[in-house]
Structure 1
Amino acid sequence: MAVTFDLFGTLVDVEYPSDPAEAVARELESRDVAVPDDWHVAYGERHVEAPAGAEVPLPAHVARALDSRGVDVTQNVARHAVVAAFDPDVTRRDGAVEAVRGAGERGPVGLLSNCAVPELVPRTLIRAGLRGEFDAVTTSVGCGWRKPHPSAFEAAAEALGSSTPALTHVGDDPETDGGIVAVGGRFVDVTETPLSEVVAELEAEQ
């Protein structure tokens, strides 16, 4: 049995910026970027055409948003500003380590996270004490697809040497994490099955 876990809202709680556009603006200004007066409007617009379900890395979105207002920045500056803006306080949820290790005793275990911010997932894993607990880490910014798109689950399953019908995904959002069901896998909802009961639930499915 291959198992993947969602990260944010499932294994950890994270304090996100209450105003992401403003947080990014502050980091851009600290790097001598002239942020346009209507930045909040530009930030909220769509600037990168992508297929449905595809992930648009936030630095690319920020660079295009600035460009739409005549402000030219390098991808490197945009990336550093975004990474700094989303530098969160992380709290590991009770039972997270035990659930991941218990799943790992029954087969390959991975992480599958929707995240448009580069470096955020590995940084979160370090701060939560979860680094090195997974056989594979798959992120939407890395594979190019967001859950519930089938390609996201396929990428995670392939990284574990498995297939989506043989994959159980543990998460907190039926709309996104529950997309595993559409490709033949199983979904364990931690809002109904606490992390402390996940291993028992996995055993019951075998």
Structure 2
Amino acid sequence: MTTHVYFDFFGTLVDYDPSVLPSAGNAPFDFAERHGCAVTPSEASAAWQRAWTEVDGAAAESGRECSMLDIAARYAELLGGRCTTLPPTSEALERLVAEYLDVWTAGIRLADGAVDCLVDLGRDHTLAVVSNTHDAALVPRMLQRFGIAGHFSEVFTSIALGWRKPHPEIFRAVLAHDGIAAGSAAFVGDNWSADVEGPRALGMRAFYVGASAAERQPVSLTDLPALIRA
């Protein structure tokens, strides 16, 4: 019997734009201007994209999560000699990360059916969030912003646990924390590899709420409670 239900966050409980270059602002360029860097907005964006691709790509390959500060530091390295006040202080990198996340999260919206789903499942299941994220405070802050933090017993993040989905260690850590066997858990998410194949490899049930594709038919958050209880 399923006693615990673990939810991915981005793309599952909220709708968001996964682009690392949000259109609402250009925090990397603002950082470059503050440090006297001779770059255009498009050059700053290209350097940010490269930093993200390099650092996040290595994390995806190893399964070991990277932080936003890791990405910001690599970005500063790429700007290199084109700036008058680099290398930056830790405070300057923290400001870049904070400003970037403010822009990146501005358009995030609660997914349709999320609240009703959580209320329904919360009546007879323990609910928690298990999210890949580069910033430890980001998901808890978003849960508070949308007023759904109280539905969850715990928020597990890849940056805090050190491993990112679909690496088995993140799922093992969550199950061990809750003291349950994989057969008592269900996972809900929008990424087939991270949220379906990863949990299933350990014996968890998994429910896909992402985009429809060949052999990947999603379920809705509205239908999810009945499916989990089936």
Determine if contact 1:27/1:84 at 8 Å carries over to the other structure: no
Q: RMSD of aligned C-alpha atoms?
A: 2.7
* TM-score, normalised relative to structure 2: 0.76
Query: SS of the residue aligned with 1:80?
Result: helix
Of 87, 97, 101 in structure 2, the residue corresponding to residue 82 of structure 1 is 97
Determine if contact 1:7/1:112 at 8 Å carries over to the other structure: yes
Query: Counterpart of 2:35?
Result: 33
Is residue 199 of structure 1 aligned with residue 225 of structure 2?
yes
After the TM superposition, which residues 1-206 of structure 1 pair with which residues of structure 2 at under 5 Å, given as runs? Answer: 1-15=3-17, 19=21, 23-29=26-32, 32-35=34-37, 37=39, 39=44, 40-41=46-47, 43-45=49-51, 46=54, 52-67=62-77, 69=80, 71-87=86-102, 88=105, 89-178=107-196, 179-191=198-210, 192-204=218-230
Distance 1:25 1:187 in 2: 37
- Structure 2 CA distance for partners of 1:163 and 1:76, relative to 1, 3 Å: farther
Give the letter for the 2:169 counterpart: S
How far the C-alpha of 1:183 sits from its partner, in A, is: 1.1
Larger helix proportion, structure 1 or 2?
2
Distance 2:228 2:48 in 1: 45
How far the C-alpha of 1:90 sits from its partner, in A, is: 2.5
- CA offsets per residue over residues 65-94 of structure 1, 9 Å max, x none? 313526312333223311221222321112
Distance 1:117 1:150 in 2: 21
**Aligned residue pairs: how many?**
203
Determine if contact 1:99/1:195 at 8 Å carries over to the other structure: yes
- Structure 2 CA distance for partners of 1:195 and 1:41, relative to 1, 3 Å: same
- Structure 2 CA distance for partners of 1:82 and 1:109, relative to 1, 3 Å: same
Gaps of 5+ in 2: 211-217
Distance 1:194 1:91 in 2: 17
Distance 2:179 2:30 in 1: 40
How far the C-alpha of 1:169 sits from its partner, in A, is: 0.4
Distance 1:110 1:72 in 2: 40
Seq. identity, %: 30
Distance 2:20 2:69 in 1: 18
Determine which structure has more spread, i.e. the larger CA radius of gyration: 2
Give the letter for the 1:189 counterpart: Y
Distance 1:42 1:15 in 2: 17
- Structure 2 CA distance for partners of 1:141 and 1:162, relative to 1, 3 Å: same
Gaps of 5+ in 1: none
Query: SS of the residue aligned with 2:222?
Result: helix
Distance 1:12 1:80 in 2: 25
- Structure 2 CA distance for partners of 1:184 and 1:35, relative to 1, 3 Å: farther
